Structure 1
Amino acid sequence: MVPEISEGQFTDDTVDANDAALDERMSLTAEFVRSVDESLLDEDNEKTRGLCEELRPADMADLLEQLPEGRRYHLVEVLGPQLAPETLAELAEEVRDEIIEAMPNAQIAEAVAELDTDEAAFVVQDMDDADREEVLAALDLADRLALQASLDYPDESAGRLMQREVFAAPSFSTVGQIIDRLRSGGRLPDLFYEVFVVDPGYKVLGSVPLSRFLKAPRDTRLTDLMADDLVRVPVLMDQEEVAYLFEKYNLISAPVVDESDRLVGMMTVDDVVEVVRTEADEDLLALGGVDREESGLSVPVPKIARSRFIWLAVNLGTAILASFVISFFDATIEQVVALAVLMPIVASMGGNAGTQTLTVAVRNLATRDLTGANTFRVVGRETAVSLINGAAFAVLLGVTAGIWYEAIGGGGPGEGVILGAVLAAAMVVTMLSAGLAGILVPVTLQRFGADPAVSSAVFVTTVTDVVGFFAFLGLAAIFLVG
């Protein structure tokens, strides 16, 4: 995706949308975005509609996100019915909320009526209560009830994300009966991969993939085709758990069932791909102390600043703690000024080693590769890695620091060797503590129900800084100052 383009960057160049809308990576070209922006500024509505005519909903969403804020809704107004309803579901949250706020509720209702329930819920979930009720009131009874039922489930649960439109049939049905039903023109899901087989109480008995179904003779019963080892998704399951099931069992779709095991909807792989991307984004940003909702290019500056201030304040607290440790050794640093030069090396190496281990640990916790059954083995592995790297860098930095200290004429005879040995020992201690903190902190936090991606970085940084400074300066106070 190309960066958002400010008004001052636009030139007089124009392009034809069909030839230059997308580059080889299937991203909108900067030239195309400029052309649309210019046509909006010139109020050339015919040209604007022509440029956007062939765009898919996802590409249209990208276009709206990249346009300057003042012209997003102008484009929506110009396109009118030409704007595909699916575009609203593809938009980033902050842009979608901005556009929906400016759209008449009647227009939103028309768009929502054409979406599947999962996409419709995604569009209206953040609207004001009064506006959402007005939109729901404008829908057909069946659509309104289905959408309201989805909104009643918790956010980020299978019930909120599922598609309520499913294709289900009783076990005594034949292939021919199902084919006739499919051709009858009745209400069917827009996209489905299998026929769910249900009993009279609408409990799921199994499923028949369409590939197997289409190959069977017309008189074949579904019970002869169905697979009964079906993976069922509880309606209240968290979306991250759903994504794990799809990845583990290589699912294309799965039925969503309520507490009584009755079929209430289905999850499809396209929904899960979005969940995987969202959860990966959240974990990546959380490791840096950034809220996903504040990471978009269209988020207002004050909102971003407030969000980042909190974690910066926490980091300030950890930095003060490390400084407090250093203050215990101010006399040592005054006598051996070289310590002040070498301290950042110890802290930096420990911080980087801790971050490496922490990143791997959080990733393995998220994918369920790191469990209670193998925690001690993984801790042992990380301890070994830390000791090996600590010893290697201890030799490298110890020798270098000793030679440097002797070369600048610091201290008395042999003090360069002592300084090198102190740095080497501190490096081993720091690297070992960084490795252990990087694996034990996220495992412990998850054990107590906290999100390791959000909370771990602060604790790991604190441990590595405090241990690193204490080890280096403490050993220096003993062996160099005495």
Structure 2
Amino acid sequence: MTPEDLDHDLLEDAAETSGAATEAVQESESLDEDNRLKSDFVRRVQDALEAGETDAVYDMVEPLHPADIADLFELIEPDERLPLARAINDQMSVDVIAELNDHVRELLLEELPAGIIADIAEQLDTDDAVAMLEDLDEEDQQAVLAEMEPEDRAAIETALAYPEESAGRLMSRDFVAVPEHMTVGGLIDFLRDDRQLATEFWEVFIVDARHHPLGTCLLSWILRSPRTAALTDVMKRDQTLIPVTMDQEEVALRFQKYALISAAVVDDDGRLVGQITVDDVVHIIQEEASEDILRLSGAGDGDINEPIRLTVRTRLTWLLVNLFTAMLAASVVGLFQGAIAKFALLAVLMPIVSGMGGNAGTQTLAVVVRALATNQITSSNTWRMIGRELRIALANGMTLGLLIGSGTALLFGNPLLGLVIGSAMVINNVIAGLAGILVPVTLDRANVDPAVSSAVFVTMATDVMGFFSFLGLAVLSGLAG
């Protein structure tokens, strides 16, 4: 290299560094210290959209990462999203589309012709394309598929044929598989020469003549092995194979348990049909965890971009169920209205018993639902876990019962009332602990998602038993006789 060439390269490097620094400054004007879009930046974009200053919008959005552009679509008003997409036109890359919230993406896709959606889908990985198309109506979906190249259309149609939230929907068909007779040198030459291969991969799958996976080779092994070595001598034969119909939550647990980076997906005949990588699984772990928490509260998907009518319908369904359980608890109170009329303090104190029982039941329920989701509770340790939660509930109940009983006796000068409420607290905490584990475990054994309806049954049990135990003990003791 001549001195002139060196000077030229140094100047180019300096220019690139300067450009990167300028871009970093621009991004710092839009992102805060937590890497979130600043509210004043979002407001400036909205003002420019309202004023029709599309060039200004383009200049502000252009330095952003695709994930930040996707966040911007969520932060602005729904009626501003389509104008923003038009303003930044060529920045609406497949990376942005892949990062968009499902509801936001659906809104934008409704405004695009089938041909453009097909072009976007063909540039996405198969799993991302499937995630985009599965939200469309059947008619729109078929229109988009009709515009796609036959090979891409066949891959997506096959994926859509698998159950929702299964490995078949999640997997990518961009993987590298080679025959077992190949050597390390032959594999390296193949990887260099074949331009049709996947652009990003971490391991190579070794398959037999029937396309059954025999083992895997990490790229690091390939680069460090002699060229003459046979792949069957350096490959790892033990591998975690993912059935194509496996639920995505179970897939995530496999990745977590075995510390996988990628895994082969096989069909019913054991043939290699795709792979799942850890970046897909990270998204699933977050999605499933959020889903369970929201289902426990009956809040549905909990997505702030979900249409209001869908949110109302989901929440109202469970609120109506809760209304029924509340009426059932009220009917128990009605059985003792005579006792309450004779001793009004019962009406003051009984919500304490049911409320503390509800809190205890919710604690147990949250722990058990998580343990079921992560396979920590299985048929082999269910009874041990029931015994454990029973001991915890009894210890907590006795502690709370002693405190509330002593306080009530001292405050109202009535030791018998203190004994009644203390005993009821113990009983209801034990009921809460049992309900908190038995309800979700029973639903899980019945193949019903325990996160969906467990909270309703546990709340009903603690309310009913809380009122019944307290008021029943008050009557039996002669306190309200």
4+ runs of 1 displaced by more than 4 Å?
none
Conserved 8 A contact 1:17-1:52: no
Moved more, 391-400 or 40-49: 40-49
Change in 2 beyond 3 A, CA 1:254/1:312 = same
* CA gap 1:157/1:37 in 2 versus in 1, 3 angstroms: same
Partner of residue 213, structure 2: 204
Amino acid at match of 2:280: D
RMSD (Å), alpha carbons: 1.5
**217-226 or 466-475, larger mean C-alpha shift:** 217-226
Task: Give 1:17 shift.
Answer: 4.5
**Aligned pairs for 1:440-459 within 5 A:** 440-459=438-457
Q: Which of residues 361, 383, 391 is equivalent to 1:384?
A: 391
**Aligned position for 1:183:** 192
1:131 aligned onto 2:140: yes
CA spacing shift, 1:36–1:190, aligned 2, 3 Å = farther
Distance 2:223 2:32 in 1: 38
The partner residue of 2:365 within 347, 358, 363 is 358
Checking the alignment, whether the CA contact within 8 Å between 1:208 and 1:225 is kept in structure 2 is yes
2:96 maps to which residue?
87
Provide the residue aligned with 1:174 in structure 2: 183
Segment drifting more, 64-73 vs 139-148: 139-148
Q: Partner amino acid for 1:53?
A: E
- Code of the aligned partner of 1:350: G
* Match of residue 10 from structure 2: none
TM superposition shift of 1:222: 1.1
Residue equivalent to 1:4:
none
CA distance in 1, matches of 2:326, 2:307: 29
Counterpart of 1:481 in 2: which secondary structure? coil
Deviations 1:368-409 (CA, angstroms, capped at 9, x unpaired): 111111111111111111111111111111111112212xxx
CA distance in 1, matches of 2:265, 2:144: 26
User: Which AA in structure 1 matches 2:274?
Assistant: G
CA separation in 2, counterparts of 1:192 and 1:21?
33
Picking from 423, 428, 431, the partner of 1:430 is 428
Among candidates 159, 165, 172, match of residue 174 of structure 2: 165
Matches of 1:228 and 1:177, distance apart in 2: 20
Q: TM-score, normalised by structure 2?
A: 0.92
Q: Structure 2 CA distance, aligned partners of 1:85 and 1:109?
A: 11
Pairwise CA distance, 1:185 = 4.8
Percent identity of paired positions between Structure 1 and Structure 2: 47
Matched with 2:249 is: 240
Change (3 A) 1:93 1:244: same
1:461 — aligned with what?
A: 459
Aligned partner letter, 2:417: L
Return the offset for 1:138. Answer: 2.5
Distance in structure 1 (CA, Å) of the matches to 2:335 and 2:451: 33
Match of 1:338 among 332, 335, 345: 345
| Alignment match, 1:305 | 312
Question: Once structures 1 and 2 are overlaid, which stretch shifts more, 69-78 or 316-325?
Answer: 69-78
State the aligned residue count. 457
Counterparts of 1:388 and 1:129, CA distance in 2: 56
Q: How big is each residue's C-alpha offset from its partner over 1:153-204, in whole Å with a ceiling of 9 and x where there is no partner?
A: 1111111110011100011112222222222252122321100001111111
Tell me, yes or no, if the aligned pair for 1:20 and 1:31 is still in contact at 8 Å. Answer: no
CA contact (8 A) 1:17 1:32 kept: no
Aligned equivalent of 2:50: 41
For residue 264 of structure 1, give the secondary structure of its aligned residue in structure 2. Answer: strand
Amino acid across the alignment from 2:428: T
Q: CA deviation at 1:139?
A: 2.3
Specify whether residues 28 and 51 from structure 1 end up closer, same or farther in structure 2 by C-alpha distance, changes over 3 A only: same
Amino acid aligned to 1:250: A
Unaligned regions of 5+ residues in structure 1, if any? 1-15, 407-415
| Offset, 1:81 | 2.1
